[in-house]
Structure 1
Amino acid sequence: MTELAPTYRTDAQTRLIWALCIASVVIYINLYTVQGMLPSIAEHFDVSGAQATLVLSVTSFTLAFSLLFYAVLSDRVGRLAPIVVSLWLLAASNILLIFAQNFDELVWVRLLQGGLLAAVPAISMAYFKEQLAPSFMLKAAAVYIMANSIGGIAGRIFGGLMAQYLTWQASMGLVFLVSLMGVALVTYLLPRREIKPARIQQKVSLFRKIKQDVDGFWFHLSDPQMRLAYIIGGLAFMMMVNQFSFIQLHLMADPYGVSRFQATLIFLCYSSGTFASYLSAKWIMRFGSMSIFRVALCLMVAGTLLTLFDTLVAIVAGFLISACGFFLTHSCCNSFVAMRATGHRAKATSLYLCCYYLGAALGGPYLMIFWHKAHWAGVVMGSLSLLALLMLTLWRLGVHQHGSVILLTKK
């Protein structure tokens, strides 16, 4: 199967970038609004604060594995249709949250939403690489990651505001309306036709198609550098997103005793990550991915340790530093995977994001063990163990890249 380079139109490229960035904001508002409402969820559904964190973990779990499905589907039917259909179904699914009567029903709806949330992150980077000129690619990826950060901040702060002033039913009704407006705007902005690379048409049996899909996933999994990039993203997100869940519980307890909404203001620390994401493309081109990876790791370690001083100033400063390091890591992984994937691009991205969100799903129960043992100091200890594994993985990636350079030099 051969492909010809498509002809790019600037207006269509701009509309696509805007559409997928807004779609990303919608996705992350729907994913993370509940994280800003954890204390309210615990009270409304009569569960513990730590148990309420499972609402985010189960969604991340189904999201992780649904990414693989959308990668295959988009290779079969195109990038546009799965994005549009999943977004409209996601908006409609919020109606089910309004009528959730108990915690079990809430968990089941969030499991369903995880499957619908996966389409945009699974397809976006492959969509960009196919539809954008190469000169647009790194900038589009950086802006897209920045939109992820904005959506994450907006969702959590939005959730905190609603938890403070609205009932559960009113809150979910508002999420439904916001999602509906966002999805309508995305549908309007998305180019009506995809610029599809020309392909040699050939009839392929169902068995052959399945084998091609399996081979596509295996192609990337058999690449040691790709595997390490997947592990790096998963470990970083395993720590970062769940730290933000447990710090809310810490800030609402003595000696701080802040309100629900005040606790969610810690998510404004994501703004340092938003800024770092925007500049990441320039830094990666200037210094290289490995240098940025190492700086990012140092930032995450320093920020996590700083929170042990256990003052509001130290906690805020620590999370600002950690968020900057995390989003630099995420941006490096995204661009590394997108640029290294010479074929089966959606599968490459979906495998990375599968590991990324699987890390988020596993991180909640993992850090909960440390929380029950020693509260916030325990969470820091659990986080440092993950960062130690991340350091080892980065070292292995550096070894593989150095070996590749030597091999190319000899050739």
Structure 2
Amino acid sequence: MADSQTHTLSGTDGRRLIYGLSLASVAIFINLYLTQGMLPMLAERFDVSAGHSTLVVSVTSFSLALSLLGYALLSDRIGRRRPLIASLWLLALSNLLLFLVPDFDALLWLRLGQGMLLASVPAIAMAYLKDRLPTMMLMTAAAFYIAANSFGGIAGRLLGGVMAQYLDWNQAVLLLTLLTLLLVASAQWLLGIDRGADGRHERQGQGALRGFVLHLGNPYLRGLYLLGGLAFMVMVNQFSFIQLHLMAEPFGWNRFQATLIFLCYLSGTLSSGQSARLMTKLGTVPLLILSIGLMALGSILTLANTELAICLGFLCSACGFFLIHACCNSLVALGAEQHRAKATALYLCSYYLGAALGGPFLMPFWQTWHWQGVVAGSLLLIAANALALWRWQHLAKARQQEASLNLRRCRN
């Protein structure tokens, strides 16, 4: 049975839904990426090497990725709003346990558990928007939501850097807890208008894995999963390696200064916010071609190896990447006629899996040729994404022709 079609919110209520989910997204991504800016503090406090401290980011991302599918199943059974709100409050309260962690292993286990809570909003939000908003609002809502993702990621990394520079561990945990509580309370208040999202979306007798099998068997959706995964495979890992490059000679940036490169994400925040308008004006495929071109151009610009060229390059890359992500996220939600939360969860699984695989793929390039090697490896992945787009556009064209044919048959 297909998911229920309950496009009931518009106007002020629709905007409240968009703002509520966007605030929830900011809370999630601050909590996800804050530790990336605190790695020097973590290494010192828990007496581990700087390299070992990066595990705290890896385990969180890993458990987040694996939990996405579970939330998709749960929200299809019991509704969108309840699991989302419950997980947000559990996340906020779980930060209090950070005061009590005795060693680094305990911290890893706690972050592993928090990663499971962090998956709720990414897994549910796009399906929630698709369920509750009219189609004409969906593209704008998706663009605003992706922009909130970008803002939360920037804020989390920079806030972590500020905490590591100016606060001790307990002060940092207190600030994180209070900020999360404020964001979660605000998100719940905004989402309180929408009780309709607590309805079930599947009958109990339906096979729980049917939606995943359905979407994995759809070449149109598989193409979107591949496009997003390859793009994030490049983007998130380029930002990791460039920090190492900027901390080395001839730049010699300190750890906090190196996190400032994440301000280049702002171009992605702006571009994703305009993605709906650009898709309408340029068309989906031309916009994706332009976006892949921007990622390639940005990577090449950094080879000039000046601070200005590196910043300009990352502004271009972030702009291109977030356009790809916003387009794919929206197209997955629109392209899934049923089991929408599962379709979105599969997209995000491929997205975070790309991030996980990108580090091991680019590491030999870094070890052999340093930043120039990372750029070479990135361009290989960007070329693969261009090939994937070439294949996907034929599927999209065939899908559009089939839809037009069906429409003419219905009219006749």
Partner residue of 2:272 out of 277, 295, 303 = 277
Percent of paired sites with the same residue: 54
Quick check: 2:76–2:202 contact (8 Å CA) kept in 1?
A: no
Distance of aligned partners of 1:247 and 1:103 in 2 relative to their CA distance in 1, 3 Å threshold: farther
Q: Tell me which residue corresponds to 2:410.
A: none
In the alignment, which residue of structure 1 is the partner of 2:397?
402
More displaced stretch, 147-156 vs 375-384: 375-384
* 1:27 paired to 2:22: no
Tell me: CA distance 1:120–1:247, structure 2 relative to 1, closer, same or farther (3 Å): same
- Kindly tell me: are residues 366 and 174 of structure 1, through their superposed partners in 2, closer, same or farther at Cα, counting changes over 3 Å? farther
CA distance in 2, matches of 1:371, 1:100: 34
Map of 1:362 onto structure 2: 357
Mean Cα deviation higher: 231-240 or 42-51: 42-51
Residue in structure 1 matched with residue 73 of structure 2 by the alignment? 72
CA displacement 1:182-223 (0-9 Å, x = unmatched): 111112221254335998997x4xxx43x2x21111111111
Deviation at 1:272, TM superposition (A): 0.5
CA RMSD in angstroms, aligned pairs only:
2.3
Say if 2:41 is the partner of 1:40.
Answer: yes
d(CA) in 1 for partners of 2:201 and 2:253? 62
Mean alpha-carbon deviation: is it higher for 383-392 or for 281-290? 383-392
Task: Give the structure 2 partner of residue 14 of structure 1.
Answer: 15
Q: Could you tell me how far apart the structure 2 residues matched to 1:239 and 1:219 are?
A: 28
Quote how far apart the aligned CAs of 1:174 are: 1.6
2-side partners of 1:405 and 1:10: how far apart?
Answer: 30
SS at match of 2:62: helix
Q: 1:223 to 1:188 in 2, by over 3 A?
A: same
Shift of 1:149: 0.8
Offset of 1:393 from its aligned partner? 1.1
| Higher deviation after alignment, 390-399 or 145-154 | 390-399
Query: Which residue in the other structure is 2:382 paired with?
Result: 387
Moved more, 339-348 or 388-397: 388-397
Match of 2:335 in 1: 340
Do 1:8 and 1:133's aligned partners in 2 also have CA atoms closer than 8 Å? yes
Question: Using the alignment, how far apart are the partners of 2:137 and 2:168 within structure 1?
Answer: 44
Asked if 2 retains the 8 angstrom alpha-carbon contact of 1:12 and 1:191, the reply is: no
Equivalent positions of 1:9-408 (< 5 A) are: 9-195=10-196, 204=204, 208-209=205-206, 211=207, 213-405=208-400
Distance 1:336 1:409, change over 3 A: closer
Is the alpha carbon distance of 1:365 and 1:111 closer, same or farther for their aligned partners in structure 2, counting shifts above 3 Å?
A: farther
- CA separation of 1:130/1:99 partners in 2, compared to 1, >3 Å: closer, same or farther? same
| 1:29 to 1:222, Cα distance in 2 relative to 1, 3 A | same
Normalised by the length of structure 1, the TM-score is: 0.92
Deviation at 1:112, TM superposition (A): 1.2
Is contact 2:275-2:327 (8 Å) kept? yes
Alignment check: 8 A CA contact 1:4 1:198 kept? no
1:46-86 alpha-carbon deviations (Å, 9 max, x no partner): 44444433332222221112110001100111111111110
Structure 1's 38 and 363: CA in aligned 2 closer, same or farther, altered over 3 A?
A: farther
Write the deviation string for residues 156-198 of structure 1: whole angstroms up to 9, x where unpaired. 1111111111223322222111111111111222125433599
Letter in 1 for 2:365: F
In structure 2, do the counterparts of structure 1 residues 24 and 7 end up closer, same or farther at CA, with 3 Å as the change threshold? closer
- Shift, 1:406, TM fit: 5.6
Q: Aligned partners of 2:134 and 2:404: how far apart in 1? A: 30
Between 269-278 and 360-369, the greater mean CA deviation after superposition: 360-369
Q: Check the 8 A contact 1:289/1:336 in 2, yes or no.
A: no
Deviation at 1:357, TM superposition (A): 1.3
Separation of aligned partners in 1, 2:95 and 2:197: 33
Residues 57 and 364 in structure 1, CA contact (< 8 A), matched pair in contact too: no
Instruction: Identify if the C-alpha distance between structure 1 residues 384 and 177 changes in structure 2 by more than 3 Å, giving closer, same or farther.
Output: same
Instruction: Give distance in 2, aligned partners of 1:239 and 1:306.
Output: 15
| Structure-2 change in CA distance of 1:393 and 1:89 (3 Å) | same
Label 1:193 to 1:280 Cα distance change in 2 as closer, same or farther (>3 A).
Answer: closer
Please say which of residues 278-287 and 88-97 is displaced more in the overlay.
88-97
Which is worse superposed, 141-150 or 9-18?
9-18
In structure 2, the CA distance between the partners of 1:410 and 1:151, relative to structure 1 (3 Å rule), is: closer
Bigger shift: residues 257-266 or 275-284? 257-266
How many pairs does the alignment contain? Answer: 405
TM-superposed deviation, 1:251: 1.4
Query: Structure 1's 127 and 251: CA in aligned 2 closer, same or farther, altered over 3 A?
Result: same
DSSP-derived class of the 1:255 partner: coil
Structure 1's consecutive aligned runs of 4 or more residues displaced over 4 angstroms after TM superposition are 1-6, 196-202, 405-411
What is the CA–CA distance in structure 2 between the aligned matches of 1:176 and 1:37, rounded to whole Å? 15
Deviations 1:367-387 (A, max 9, x none): 333333333223223322221
- 8 A contact 1:34–1:55 mirrored in 2: yes
Query: Structure 2: which 5+ runs fail to align?
Result: 407-412
Query: One-letter code of the match for 1:58?
Result: V
Give 1:150's aligned amino acid: F
